[in-house]
Structure 1
Amino acid sequence: MATLKPLALQHIADASRATLWEQTFSAAVWRPVIGERAVVLEAEGEDITLVGARAGRRRELGAVRNGRRTLQRAELAEDWLWLEGRIRSATWRLETALDLPPVTAVIPTYRREDDALAQAERFLEMEVVTEVLVVDQGGTLAQDPRLRRLLAHEERLRLVTQPNLGGSGGYARGMLEAGRNPGAAVLFSDDDAVISGESLRRMLAFQTLAPRPTILGAPLFSSKKPQRLLAHSETVDTRTFNWRPTGLESGPMNLRGTTPVDWGALAPSTPATYTGWWGTLFPPGTAADLGLPLPLFLKWDDAEYGLRATARGYDHAVLPGTAVHHPPWNAHITQMSWPARLLHRNRLAVAAGSGAGRGVIVSSFAHQCKHVLAGHLLTAELWEAGIDEFRAGPDAWLGDDQNRARSEGERIVEAWHHECDFPSPVAPTHTSPRPLPIALGHALLRLSTPDRAPRVTLRVPSKKVRWTTTMGADAVQITRGGTPLEAYRVRGSHMRRALARSIASHLDLALRWGALRRRYRRALPQHTTVEAWTALFADAAPGTPTGRD
C-alpha cells in the first residue's frame, strides 16, 4: 500500500513550472469529501497571500505567515482558493493519516508503438502505480525490442495481446486482467493521453476520502494548446441521449490569462453521470460490482458504464486542478468517417437499454435534417446504417461484430466517396461560411430542384467543419493546414434520397420503440459479464499474456 502521512490533497513542488489551474485548490469540489477535517496550507516563498473566489467575485483572505496556515470554515466555503506572491512550493493537506490503495493502469493500444511505450514508461515512474497493463490489439508490441527490454527489467509491466476489439474490448480485457489485484484502483488511459503523477495522486486521494464509491475523471486539455480546456464534467441528457457539460460552459475554454474568478461556468448545475475514459479512475472492486463494459467497439461504452454505475449508487466527479492532455478531435474526423456509424448505433442501443423515451428519436431526426441541409450526406448515410443495425435488434450485432465493426463502416465511406467526390481538383468560390439565412435558403432551393452544375464551392478547414459552416454549398472542399483533403459534390437528388430514407427509418423507430427498448433492456446485461467477455475473447482468438504474471 502507498502511504501518505499526513495526506496531501494537492502538492506543487515547483510553482514556477505549474499553471494556475494546477495550483488552484477547488474547495467547492473537495468540501464534500473533506467533511469536518482540518485543511492545512503549507507554502514556501515570500509575500504570499491566500485568495478566494466565489460566484465570480474575488476576495483576499490574508497573508500566509511563517509558511503555514490552517484554513477556516469560511475560507473553505469559497469555490476556489489559490496563492499569490513569490511562491516556490505549496501543499494543501489534511492532518489525517490515510493509506491510499495502489493503482493498476490500463492502456489499450492499436499499432501506435511509440505512444504505447512512452505511456507505459510514464506510468512506471509514478509512485502510486504498482502495475501497468498494456493491451495490444495490433499484434506489434510483443516483438518490439524496446518493449521487450522494458518487460525484462520491470516486474510491474504486463503485455496482453489480442485481436482488435476496439476501445471497449481493450478496456474490458484490461479490467478483467486487473481483477487479479482486487485491492487496486484501476485507471483507464488512452495511449496518447498524458496525465501527471501528481494529478493521479490527487484523484486517488479524493476517491479514497469520498464517503460513497466514486468514479473519478480528469479534465481534458489539448496537447497542442496546453491551456485549452476541451471537456470538463459531463452528463448524459436522458431525454435526448446526448452528452453535455454539467456546467454552463458552451464549448472549449482557453484558460490562458484567466483566473479562478473567470471559471464560474465550470461549476456543475447537474450531477455528472459518467467520465471520459481518456483518464478515468475506478475505485477498487468496481468491475466485480458492476461488470465489464458493453462490447460496443468504440463510442458510448464509457457513458453506458457511467449510467450503470449511477443506477448502482456510485458518484462521479471530475477533479479541477488535475489534467489529461490529449490530441484534440474535430467533427470532420468524428462524424465524416467510419466511427460515425458506431457512434449513432451505440447511442440508440444505450438509450433503449436505459429505458429512454422517444426524445432520442426526435433528436436523431432533427440532427439528420441538419446533416441533409448542410450537405453532410456521408454523415447521414453512416447514421442511417447505424439505425438499420440498431433496428435489427441486439441479437443481430451485439457482441458479434467486433471483427467487422470498422471494415463495414469503411466500406460505406469508400462507396460514398466513389460516388460523390470530384475526380479532379476544384477551385473554391467561397473561403468563408455564407450568412446562415442565405445558406439555408440556398440549401432548401437545392433540395427542391433538379441537379445542376455547382455554382457555390466552399472551402472549409477540417477543424471548422460544422453544419453551419458548410450549409449553402453545392460543393465542399475540406482542407488541413491549407492542403486539400477531399472535395465532394452536394446534389439535390442525394439530399432528397437521404431525407426520404431518414423519414422512413425514424417513423419505424417511433412505431417500434417500445418493443426495441424491451429487447435491448433484456440483452445488454447479458453482454457485460466476465463469462460473456471470456467467450468473446476466445472466439476472436485468445490473447496471450506476455511478461510476468
Structure 2
Amino acid sequence: MSDRQPNRTKTLLQRTFFASETPRIEPALYADGTAVRAERDRAVLSDGARLSTDTYFGRFAATYWQRYTDLAAVTVELDYDCSDGATLTVQTRASDISGRVRPLSVERFTGAGTAVMDVRIDRFLDGGAAWFDLAADGGSVSVSAARWLADAAPVRDRRVSVVICTFNRPDDAVATVGAVAGDADLAERVEAVHLVDQGTARVSDNPGFAGLADLLGDRLNYLNQANLGGSGGFSRGIYESTAQGRPVTDVLVMDDDILCEPESILRMTSFAQFARKPMLVGAQMLLLSETTRIHMTAETDDLAHLDCTVPPPNARRGVDALEFRQDKRVIAGYNAWWSCLIPREAIDAVGLPMPYFIKWDDIEYGVRCRGAGFPTATLPNAGVWHADFHLKDIDDWSSYFGQRNVLISSAIHSAFDGKTIAATMAKHIGESIVGLKYGQAAIELEALRDFLAGPYVLADGGRAKLAEINAMRRDFDDTRVRPASEIADPPVIPSPPAPAPKWERGVLVKRAAQQILGRTAPGQIAVGAFDATWWHVGRFASAVVTDASQTGVRVRTYDRALSLAQGRELAALCWELRKHAPELQRAWREAVPQLTSRENWERLFAVD
C-alpha cells in the first residue's frame, strides 16, 4: 500500500475527466471501463471493475512534453474512497512510437485518501503517451479529481486572452464563451475574453449573455463592428489583447461555432507556459456529426502548389479516435483557428493577420510565425468539435476568397514559380469549367484578376467584394440550391474511378475537347455530392448534383459559349500570372508590413 501526501503547490498540467459535459459525446473518448459509473469528475467502480484512461482525452501527450519542454517528470494524483474491504489498484502505463505498451508503476490503496504516482518523461522522444488504469477488488471504489501535475514553475507564468469572433450565431457564441468562463480552473488563467460581434443578430440580445457578464465581470470585452470576416474579427481581438496598457498575455483564438471541451484549452495553456521556447499550440478538430472522428491529426502546407491540406509525416486524416492511438509525434506546419494559442512574442514579431476577410488568414499567420522562428504543436489530446468540412459545399461565395488568398500567401511565403503556379491555377479553374460549375469558375477567375491587380484590392478588408461576389453568383443558375422535389428523378450513372494523378491533366483536356465537339451524353443524370467530380459530371450535357450539405440540389448544364469564354479568359490570366510572377511576388511581399500593421487595422476597424 502507498499513499503519499499530495503536494498542493504543484502546477496543474491537465485533468482526467471520465465523461463529457455534453451527453451527445461518446464517453469512451474519456475513459473505457466495465462495471463503472462514469461522471464528469468522478468514477465509481464496482467490485471487479476495470477502467482505463488509454483514451483520446485520458492520455498525457508525453512525447510532446519531452520534445518541447524541460520537464523530466510529472505526478499523477487522484482522490479515492474505498468501501470496507475494497482495494484500489492504480497502474501507470506508457506507449512508444509503435504503440507497444510498457508498465511504469503499480500502487494499491485502501480506505480513503489521495493516491500519488510519479511518471518520468524520459523515453518518449519519437513518440508515445502515458496514462493510468484503475481496478477495484473486494468492494466498490470511488475515484475523483484526477490530475497531472508538475513540480516546477512554468517557463512563462502568463495568463491568456481569449478571442472569439462571431457572425449571427448568438447561441453558439454564448455557449462557447460559457464553456470557458464556467470552468473554474481554466477561468483562473483567463485575463480577458474579447468577443467580437460582427453580425446583426447581436449576442448581447441573447438571454444567456447576462450570465456571461456575471461570470466574467470586467474581463468580458464585448465589441461590435462591421463585418470584416473572420480575419477582421480575430484581428480585432488580437489588436485589443495587445493594446498598450493591457497586461502581457498570450492570445487564444477560437471559432464561435465549436463545441468546446474546456479541458483542451487548459492543456493548451499549460503546454504553452512550459514550452522552453514560445510556440503556437493548437487543438485538433473533431467532427460534430461523428464526434469520435478526427479531421486531421496535424496539418501543413504546400504553398508552392497552393495547397493547405497536406498531412505532414506520421499525420492521419479522418481516423476514429476510439480506435486510433496517436503515438507518433507529428510536426505541424500550422494550426487552424477553431482553437489555437499564439504566444505574445510571436504577435510582437510578426504583427497582426492579413486583411483577407475569410479563409487562409489563420494558415498564412501560422506560416508567417513559423518563418519567424515560432513553430506550431498540435496536441493529440486536445480537441474541439467543429462543423464537418465535407458537409460544406465548396461551390459558394467563399471560393473567391480562398483562391485569392492562397495566391497571396504563396507569393509571400513560397518560391512562387510562375510556371508552376499558373499551371496549378489553370488546372483548378479548368476543373470548375469542365465540371459545369460556371458560377464558381467566374468568381475564381475574379480572384485571379484581383490578385494580379496587386495589394490595393485588400484596401477595404473585403466588405465591398463580398457583396460583389454574391451579385456575380446570382447571374449563374448552377449556383442555386433547389429543393430536390422540384426536379424530376433523372437516372443515376455510377461514377468512374478517378484518373491517376499523372493522367489528370490529360483527362481534363480530353473532357474539355469532348464538350467543345459536342460529344457529351445527351439528357440529364443525377449525381450524389461525393460523386460530383469534374471527370464524371463533365461527360454529360446536364447533371442534377446533390449539394454537399444534403439540403438540396443544383442543376448544372453545359453551355458551350460560356465554357469557351471562360476558357479563353483563364488562358489569358494564367499567361499574365506566369509572365509577371516575380513582380507580383515583390509587390505582395513589400505590402505585408503595411497590411498587417496596427494602423491599417485601426483604419478598417474605424477605431479612433
Aligned length: 529
- Offset from partner CA, 1:341-381 (integer Å, 9 cap, x none): 11101111121122532233332223233333433433322
Deviations 1:225-273 (A, max 9, x none): 11110133222224223112223446322223x142xx45x642xx433
Matched, 1:324 2:380: no
Counterparts of 2:267 and 2:204, CA distance in 1: 36
Name 1:546's counterpart in structure 2: none
| Pairs within 5 Å for 1:459-474 | 459-461=527-529, 465-467=532-534, 470-474=537-541
Q: Does 1:246 align with 2:312?
A: yes
1:179 and 2:242 matched: yes
Instruction: Say yes or no: does 1:191 pair with 2:259.
Output: no
CA RMSD of aligned residues (A): 3.2
Q: Residue 177 of structure 2 contacts residue 212 of structure 2 at CA under 8 Å; is this kept in 1?
A: no
Work out whether residues 475 and 489 of structure 1, in 8 Å CA contact, stay in contact via their aligned partners in 2. yes
Does residue 348 (structure 1) correspond to residue 390 (structure 2)? The answer is: no
Q: How does 1:432-451 map to 2 (within 5 A)?
A: 432-436=494-498, 443-444=511-512, 446-450=514-518
Q: 2:164 maps to which residue?
A: 107
* Counterpart-to-counterpart distance in 1, 2:74 and 2:478: 63
Aligned 8 A contact 2:267 2:382 in 1: yes
In structure 1, runs of 5+ residues without a counterpart are 544-549
- One-letter code of the match for 2:193? V
- Where does residue 309 of structure 1 map in the other structure? 369
- Which of 133, 151, 162 aligns to 1:95? It is 151
Superimposed CA distance per residue, residues 279-308 of structure 1 (whole angstroms, 9 cap, x where no aligned partner): 111123543332111111011111221122
Which residue number in structure 2 is paired with residue 10 of structure 1?
14
Distance 1:534 1:486, change over 3 A: same
State how far apart, in whole Å, the 2-side matches of 1:514 and 1:130 are: 44
Distance 2:593 2:487 in 1: 50
The 1:522/1:493 distance shift into structure 2, 3 A limit, reads same
Aligned counterparts of 1:274 and 1:60: Cα–Cα separation in 2: 32
Matched, 1:165 2:213: no
1:537 maps onto 2:605 in alignment: yes
Measure the CA separation in 1 of the matches of 2:152 and 2:479.
67
State the distance in 2 between where 1:468 and 1:83 align. 51
Go from structure 1 to structure 2 and tell me whether the alpha carbon gap of 1:354 and 1:188 turns closer, same or farther (over 3 Å shift).
same
**How many angstroms apart in 2 are the aligned matches of 1:211 and 1:293?**
25
Task: Write out aligned runs for 1:148-297 (5 A).
Answer: 149-150=210-211, 153=214, 154-180=217-243, 181-243=246-308, 244-249=310-315, 251-256=317-322, 258-260=323-325, 263=326, 267-268=329-330, 271-297=331-357
1:443 and 1:473 in contact (8 A); partners too: no
Separation in 2 of the partners of 1:421 and 1:223?
23
Give the CA deviation at 1:427: 2.6
Shift of 1:510: 0.3
Aligned residue for 2:101, secondary structure, equals strand
Q: Is the 8 A contact 1:274 1:307 kept in 2?
A: yes
Shift in CA distance, 420/494, structure 1 to aligned 2, threshold 3 Å: farther
Maintained 8 Å contact 1:451/1:491: no
1:121 aligned counterpart, secondary structure: helix
For residue 526 of structure 2, the aligned residue among 458, 461, 472 is 458
Q: 1:124 to 1:420 in 2, by over 3 A?
A: closer
SS across alignment from 2:380: coil
- For residues 519 and 246 of structure 1, the distance between their equivalents in structure 2, rounded to whole angstroms, comes to 30
Question: Which amino acid letter does the alignment assign opposite residue 128 of structure 2?
Answer: D
Distance 1:43 1:142 in 2: 39
Alpha carbons of 1:531 and 1:63: their partners in 2 closer, same or farther (altered >3 Å)?
Answer: same
CA distance in 2, matches of 1:455, 1:250: 41
CA 1:192–1:522: 2 relative to 1, 3 Å: same
Determine if contact 2:228/2:461 at 8 Å carries over to the other structure: no
Q: Secondary structure at the match of 1:320?
A: strand
**Secondary structure, in 3 states, of the residue corresponding to 1:32?**
helix
Deviation at 1:214?
0.6
Distance apart, 1:537 and its partner CA: 1.7
Residue 518 of structure 1, CA deviation? 1.1
Looking at structure 2, the residues matched to 91 and 75 of structure 1 have their Cα atoms a distance apart, in angstroms, of 21
Q: CA deviation at 1:534?
A: 0.8
After alignment, is 219-228 or 121-130 more displaced? 121-130
TM-score (norm 1): 0.86
Q: From the superposition, tell whether residues 466 and 178 of structure 1 become closer, same or farther in structure 2 (CA, over 3 Å).
A: farther
**How far does the alpha carbon of each residue in 1:64-108 deviate from its partner, in whole angstroms, 9 at most, with x for none?**
314443334554455223334449454333221347422221111
Q: Distance in 1 between matches of 2:298 and 2:482?
A: 42
Structure 1 position 526 matched with structure 2 position 583 = no
**Which of 64, 67, 70 is residue 118 of structure 2 equivalent to?**
70
What aligned pairs does 1:393-432 form with structure 2 within 5 A after superposition? 393-395=454-456, 397-417=457-477, 425-430=487-492, 432=494
Question: Does the 8 A contact of 1:355 with 1:521 survive in 2?
Answer: no
Inter-partner Cα distance in structure 2 for 1:516 and 1:14: 54
Q: Contact conserved, 2:198 with 2:228, CA < 8 A, in 1? A: yes
Query: Which stretch has the larger CA shift, 293-302 or 472-481?
Result: 472-481
SS in 2 for 1:510: helix
Identify if the C-alpha distance between structure 1 residues 9 and 360 changes in structure 2 by more than 3 Å, giving closer, same or farther. farther
Kept in 2, the 8 Å contact 1:224–1:327? The answer is yes
Distance across 2 between alignment mates of 1:137 and 1:526:
24
* Equivalent position of 1:338 in the other structure: 397
Q: Which shows bigger deviation, 97-106 or 473-482?
A: 473-482
Can you list the C-alpha shifts for 1:489-542, whole angstroms capped at 9, x where unaligned? 13455444333322221111000111111111111221111111111222xxx5
Distance 2:405 2:539 in 1: 30
Q: 1:251 to 1:475 in 2, by over 3 A?
A: farther
* Matches of 1:531 and 1:437, distance apart in 2: 49
Give the C-alpha shift of residue 458 in structure 1: 2.7
Task: Indicate conservation of the 8 Å contact 1:446/1:492, yes or no.
Answer: no
Which structure's CA Rg is the greater one? 2
| Alpha carbons of structure 1 residues 292 and 434: separation in structure 2 relative to 1, 3 Å | same
- 182, 187, 207: which one aligns with 1:125: 182
The answer to whether the Cα contact below 8 Å between 2:296 and 2:316 also exists between their aligned partners in 1 is: no
Q: Which ranges in structure 2 are unaligned for 5 or more consecutive residues?
A: 1-7, 20-26, 32-54, 81-87, 109-114, 137-142
Residue 323 of structure 1 aligns to a residue whose secondary structure is strand
- 2:542 — aligned with what? 475
> CA–CA distance in 1 between the matches of 2:538 and 2:320?
28
- Aligned pair 1:503/2:579, yes or no? no
| 2:76 pairs with 1:31 | no
